[in-house]
Amino acid sequence: MAIVAGVDIGNSTTEVCLADFAVSGRRFLAGSIVKTTGIKGTAANVPGIVLALEEALQQVGLALPDLTEIRLNEATPVIGDLAMETITETIITESTMIGHNPATPGGIGLGVGVTVPFDRLAGVKAGERIICIIPGGIDFEDAARELNAAASRGVDLQGAVARQDDAVLIVNRLHRKIPVLDEVTFIDRVPPGMLAAVEVAAAGQSIKNLSNPYGIATVFQLSAEETKMVVPIARALIGNRSAVVIRTPRGDVKARTIPAGLISLSGEKGRTDIDVEAGAAKIMAAVEQVQPVQDVQGEAGTNVNGMLERVRQVMSELTGQPLDAMKIQDILAVDTFVPQKVQGGLAGEFALENAVALAAMVKTSRLPMQQIADQLRRQLGVRVVIAGVEANMAIRGALTTPGTDKPLAILDMGGGSTDAAIISRDERTSAIHLAGAGDMVTMLIHSELGLNDLALAEEIKMYPLAKVESLYHIRLEDGTVQFFEQHLPPQVFSRVVILKESEMIPIPTDHPLDKIRHVRREAKRRVFVTNALRALTRVAPTGNIRHISFVVLVGGSALDFEVADMVTDALAEYGIVCGRGNIRGTEGPRNAVATGLVLSYPDERAGSA
């Protein structure tokens, strides 16, 4: 009898398949899954491997000394990183200030006038067009009384800007309604005597004038050249219900262009340079032009170079290999948006700027895997073998899915990489290992929604959404309504929530449900669908996807509630039968590589006999 464990070290999880090889044949015993410790393919994986082995063995009453052999996949470490290559950065200098808070403005309309501090309101002459600046500490009743008094003297009161959350309370007490914007955090920065514009839209609508460069040009009588320069201001205010723009003495606005940097790609088909500013599509076209990629370098002094060198440095430190031995064997570029803080903003404004996200895969030698094997051997006293390439092992495992046969292609979509492999009827195999998978999707969601909470972005990726419309019902993201007999927790009322198993997690942003859902689905489409097509093209006979008949989806991301459908839809136009795997008829799309490692055990024994 031989007790053999197949161990699949993934970017996110470590999986084990346990089998008993006896004279009467092979019998699968158990399986387990734990979170991967450390970065995939490094010695830090060992504690997670031991824990996964112990969990599987405990299920069948065995212990670590009972193992005959541990078989590891040849794990390639993958680090995904956002290179944040912002094409333009919104810089609004101290000479032009903007502020907005779309939640609680008062009044409706556009007001244009000269800024006057609240304590100087009594000295304003009749007929002067003004915007009153109300600092913190002023009671809303006192503010309304003074504004009414000024208006009764003939002052042309066009609007007001308040520090406190008092806009509605103030407007409700005014004899003549004016647009009032509140919660302007840095109101002390507003200089007196400057031309300003305040705009408030009706509930459910957004401003029209101050989010339009020509509207700003009309208000401030700008030239054509000056109008070009106010585009960042308009962009920062798009979609808001209220806004204030103040022009100070110098009045200069600058949109500073940052050199995005060049990426140098070296591959078997040659070498090419591509500017990150060209966008993800051009970058990926350049990757295909030289593939298979041998190394990627960034232009010195740019953000993209810093990102790529950081990836090399981390892998060098973790593996103990020289920095110059760290070669990037693949990158995935995706167009995205990143919130950039607006310099000169009055309420902590952000503007979405174009950026390119990059996932890079570092190619290391077999040495790190050998270090893992040696450490396990010393620690457990069990024979440890590096048994095979991930994708090839995944094919073996996928073939245990009921209803499958050769020729067969698999897509193994994990946390950091997407693997594809194909096996023909005569057992010939071809495999590819590409950067970019679930971790990159999480980073895109995190970045585009401005969450500052990576764990929350991960949950948005994994679970559907709903809007809590009352304490007794929610509207699901597909439009259906679900009612409850018991009232919901008050903290989720009127919030967009994540439906995680038996709990609701409120999302602490002002983004509507449709926006969050769109960001989530687009991130998955740009990573998973793009990489699925890219990987299958690489392994397909003659590079034509239409020559593939059957595709089995395996790996953690195949469990996602919408990824498998997205990939299936994308492949349907090529006439491909595609679906989630069901490894050994019991495990679903999980455990394919670990199962394949176990299945390869008799082959190795026969080869060494």
Extended beta strands in 401-501, E state: 408-413, 417-423, 429-435, 465-470, 473-476, 481-483, 496-500
Point out the least confidently predicted range of 140-149, 203-212, 456-465. 203-212
Residues 129, 116: Cα–Cα separation, whole Å: 10
Q: Token pair 């031309």 is at which residue?
A: 195
DSSP letter assigned to residue 556: G
**Residue 427 and residue 395: Cα distance in Å, rounded?**
11
Q: What percentage of the chain has pLDDT greater than the value 70?
A: 88
Residue 287 phi/psi, 5-degree rounding, is -60, -45
* Rounded Cα–Cα distance for residues 481 and 309 (Å): 50
pLDDT tens profile 3-46: 999 999 987 899 999 999 987 788 999 999 999 998 887 888 99
Q: So what's the pLDDT on residue 253? A: 45
- CA angle, corner 162, sides to 229 and 169, nearest 5? 135
Please state the rounded mean pLDDT for residues 383-412: 88
Average model confidence (pLDDT) across the chain: 86
For residue 447, CA distances in Å to 454, 460, 560 come to: 9, 13, 20
Measured distance CA(460)–CA(376) in Å, rounded: 36
Question: Which residues does 355 contact at the CB level (< 8 Å), separation at least 6?
Answer: 82, 83, 84, 85, 86, 87, 335, 336, 337, 338, 447
Tokens of 462: 């994994």
386 beta partners: 72
Domains annotated for the chain, with CATH where assigned, are 81-87+258-363 (3.90.470.30), 94-252 (3.50.30.70)
pTM: 0.75
How many Å apart are CA 311 and CA 82, to the nearest integer? 11
Band (87; pLDDT cuts 50, 70, 90): very low
Confidence of residue 608 (pLDDT cuts 50, 70, 90): very low
Most confident option among 46-50, 407-411, 540-544: 46-50
Q: Which residues contact 190 (CB under 8 A, 6 or more apart)?
A: 97, 115, 133, 161, 184, 196, 246, 346
pLDDT at 362: 79
Integer Cα distance of 328 and 265 in angstroms: 10
Q: pLDDT tens digits, residue range 223-234?
A: 898 888 787 778
Q: Which of 302, 307, 300 has the alpha carbon at shortest distance from 328?
A: 307
